[in-house]
């Protein structure tokens, strides 16, 4: 809109131009408000949650082979999350309701499954078994204490009982 006005040499050019500036100013203010809101929102988010956003769970890499889904970077994902491949495997098979196993470091699922669905389940796994419920950091370990498995955070010391898979 503004660019067009600049080529328009009609009488009310100045008038329109001023309007244009006001329009630009408003836009600028809107942007500032948005930035400010974002800044404020960030300050209100507990620090741990921001850390969690910075930590990225690797996305699955793989392909479909016949009626099977092969995930080639499965052990990269489990080692990034510092969990046993067998532990995550058990969770995924249950959640995706499909048979499967780990063969030479690759996850082999006995059904055609979309990467999006697997990524979503891995995220849910991480929320349950990796990220600290208090500070949100991924620096946690699962320890067996008697009959219970606990997730303990090496950053803030929080301990929580986790579900058995
Ligand atoms: Zn913590």
The answer as to whether 49 is a domain residue is no
Q: 66 and 8 in one domain?
A: no
The answer as to whether 20 is a domain residue is yes
| Ligand 1 centroid – CA 116 distance (Å) | 28
* Domain of residue 134, residue span: 54-162
pTM assigned to the model? 0.68
134-139 long-range Cβ contacts below 8 angstroms, 24+ apart: 134/48, 134/158, 135/46, 135/47, 135/48, 135/51, 136/46, 136/48, 136/49, 136/50, 136/51, 136/52, 137/48, 137/51, 137/52, 137/55, 138/52, 138/55, 138/81, 138/82
Q: Express each pLDDT in 108-152 by its tens digit.
A: 999 999 999 999 999 999 999 999 999 999 999 999 888 899 999
| Ligand 1 centroid – CA 46 distance (Å) | 12
Instruction: Give the pLDDT score at 19.
Output: 60
The answer as to whether 37 is a domain residue is yes
| Ligand 1 centroid – CA 47 distance (Å) | 11
| Ligand 1 centroid – CA 121 distance (Å) | 22
Q: 128 and 70 in one domain?
A: yes
* Average pLDDT in the chain: 84
Q: 119 and 38 in one domain?
A: no
| Ligand 1 centroid – CA 109 distance (Å) | 33
Q: 62 and 37 in one domain?
A: no
Q: 65 and 33 in one domain?
A: no
The answer as to whether 83 is a domain residue is yes
| Ligand 1 centroid – CA 76 distance (Å) | 23
Q: 105 and 75 in one domain?
A: yes
């Amino acid at each position: 809109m503004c660019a067009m006005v600049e080529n328009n040499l009609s009488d009310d050019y100045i008038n329109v131009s001023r309007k244009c500036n006001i329009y630009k100013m408003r836009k600028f203010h809107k942007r500032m408000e948005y930035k400010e809101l974002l800044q404020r929102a960030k300050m209100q988010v507990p620090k741990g949650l921001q850390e969690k956003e910075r930590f990225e769970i690797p996305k699955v890499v793989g392909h479909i082979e016949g009626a099977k889904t092969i995930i080639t970077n499965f052990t990269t994902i489990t080692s990034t999350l510092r969990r046993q491949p067998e532990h995550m495997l058990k969770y995924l098979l249950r959640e995706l309701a499909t048979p499967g196993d780990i063969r030479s470091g690759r996850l082999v699922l006995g059904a055609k499954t979309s990467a999006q669905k697997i990524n979503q389940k891995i995220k849910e796994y991480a929320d349950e078994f990796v990220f600290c419920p208090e500070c949100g950091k991924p620096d946690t370990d699962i320890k067996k204490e008697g009959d219970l498995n606990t997730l303990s955070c090496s950053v803030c010391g929080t301990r929580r009982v986790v579900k058995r898979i």
